[in-house]
């Protein structure tokens, strides 16, 4: 609703008919009330000036939104609310991430952990040193193995999140690496001015710019950088996830110790490294459990976030993060006390760690080694 103020002024002039007896009379405005009558022997024409006061008039009409645009109603609201964020956190950590899944048992569970370490190293190096076809083949291979090995709810959740993260990384790097055209000119004159021949006709089909998207552009350099980074991120996340879901922490620690045994002669603290790795793998489950349990605790209280201010919402999130770290530190203290009770005094060489690992080589190990050798050979041939 809006109001409009209107000011009106109505001056009037009256000319009466002349008579033999003329009088001249001036009527002043109401707020002066002055009269002047000259002393003439005959009467003149009568002039009457009536001027009223300024009278403001206020007219109010209802605004229905037809004349002025209500732009505030088009602003999307409640897109990212605190309740949705907490529900996403609790849902993301509900499925096992980097945790061992004992069932269903597949042939990947029986592969030697040393071969798995070799596969991890190859999947980290090959995407950065191979061409586009090898990168796409690696991603397809990891996706098929994940679908075959992991349970259906687990691989759907993990592949979806990893694919979304790598897709965002691909778009950002593809359009941001060489996307904006530089504002500059060549310092050298064109070939026609200095007498050089033009570009040969065999190179006319080459185009450095692949696609234009408004002010941004996708070039060959951007495509190469984006594909390398996205494939490397996908292979690292998914290969580590496959390795941890099909291998126990003790087996991974034993396999890494087997590779690092020659480094003892160079003074490398292999025992401390293995013990740290073993504790770290055990600690991953505690971190995800704490994050999920605290998020579920806040969601279950059904807080009315609409009644809270922005500062109060931020304070709740800071309290949530502070409580996560507090619980994690409490778990770390309990683990250290348990190790002291079991005889650990700070010397990793004196502390005995019992690994349960089978060193026998089976058919699954041989097939895995052959596939690894074939992949390395294909990557080497593609680069030549």
Q: For residue 93, what pLDDT is reported?
A: 57
Tokens matching residue 344: 């650990």
Name the H helices within the chain: 82-92, 113-129, 132-149, 152-176, 191-194, 220-246, 249-260, 270-300, 310-341, 363-383
Distance, in Å, from the CA atom of 355 to the CA atom of 275, rounded to the nearest integer, reads 12
Measured between alpha carbons, how far is 25 from 122 in angstroms, rounded to an integer?
A: 114
Count CB atoms within 10 A of the CB of residue 72. Answer: 7
**Six-digit token string for 381:** 């041939």
**In terms of residues, how long is the chain?**
384
The pLDDT, as a whole number, for residue 234 is 92
pLDDT in tens, 107-137: 888 888 899 999 999 988 888 888 888 888 8
Contacts 24+ apart (CB under 8 A), 255-260: 255/112, 255/113, 255/114, 255/116, 255/117, 255/357, 256/117, 257/355, 258/114, 259/114, 259/117
Q: Which residue has the tokens 């009467």?
A: 43
**347 DSSP 8-state letter:** -
Give the C-alpha separation, 224 to 123, whole Å: 18
Q: What is the pLDDT of residue 200?
A: 61
Q: So what's the pLDDT on residue 322? A: 93
Distance from chain centroid for Cα 43: 95
Can you say whether residue 195 is alpha, beta or left, with left for phi > 0 and alpha for psi between -120 and 50 degrees?
left
Q: Which of 22, 12, 72, 15 is nearest to 43 (CA)?
A: 22
**Residues in the chain with pLDDT < 50?**
1-2, 4-36, 40-54, 65-69, 71-72, 75
């Amino acid at each position: 609703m809006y109001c409009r103020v209107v000011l009106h002024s109505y001056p009037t002039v009256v000319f009466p008919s002349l008579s033999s007896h003329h009088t001249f009379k001036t009527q002043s405005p109401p707020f002066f009330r002055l009269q002047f009558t000259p002393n003439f022997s005959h009467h003149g024409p009568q002039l009457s000036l009536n001027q009223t006061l300024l009278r403001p008039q206020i007219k109010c009409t209802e605004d229905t939104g037809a004349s002025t645009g209500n732009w505030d109603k088009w602003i999307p609201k409640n897109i990212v609310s605190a309740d949705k964020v907490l529900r996403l956190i609790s849902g993301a950590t509900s499925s096992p991430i980097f945790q061992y899944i004992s069932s269903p048992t597949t042939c990947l569970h029986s592969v030697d952990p040393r071969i798995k370490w070799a596969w991890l190293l190859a999947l980290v190096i090959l995407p950065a040193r191979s061409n586009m076809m090898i990168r796409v083949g690696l991603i397809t291979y990891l996706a098929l193995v994940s679908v075959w090995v992991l349970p259906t709810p687990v691989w759907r959740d993990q592949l979806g999140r990893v694919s979304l993260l790598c897709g965002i990384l691909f778009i950002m790097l593809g359009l941001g690496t060489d996307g904006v055209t530089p504002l500059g000119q060549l310092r050298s004159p064109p070939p026609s001015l200095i007498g050089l021949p033009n570009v040969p006709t065999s190179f006319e089909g080459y185009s450095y710019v692949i696609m234009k998207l408004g002010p941004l552009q996708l070039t060959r350099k951007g495509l190469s950088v984006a594909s390398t980074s996205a494939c490397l991120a996908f292979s690292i996340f998914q290969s580590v996830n496959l390795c941890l879901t099909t291998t126990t922490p003790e087996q991974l620690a034993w396999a890494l110790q087997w590779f690092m045994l020659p480094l003892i002669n160079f003074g490398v603290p292999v025992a401390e490294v293995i013990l740290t790795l073993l504790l770290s793998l055990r600690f991953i489950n505690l971190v995800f459990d704490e994050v999920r349990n605290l998020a579920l605790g806040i969601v279950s209280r059904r807080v009315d976030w609409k009644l809270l201010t922005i500062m109060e919402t931020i304070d709740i999130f800071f309290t949530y993060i502070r409580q996560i770290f507090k619980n994690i530190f409490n778990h770390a203290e309990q683990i250290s006390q348990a190790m002291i009770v079991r005889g650990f005094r700070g010397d990793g060489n004196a502390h005995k760690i019992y690994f349960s690992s089978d060193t026998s080589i089976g058919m699954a190990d041989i097939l895995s080694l052959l596939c690894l050798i074939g992949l390395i050979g294909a990557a080497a041939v593609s680069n030549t």
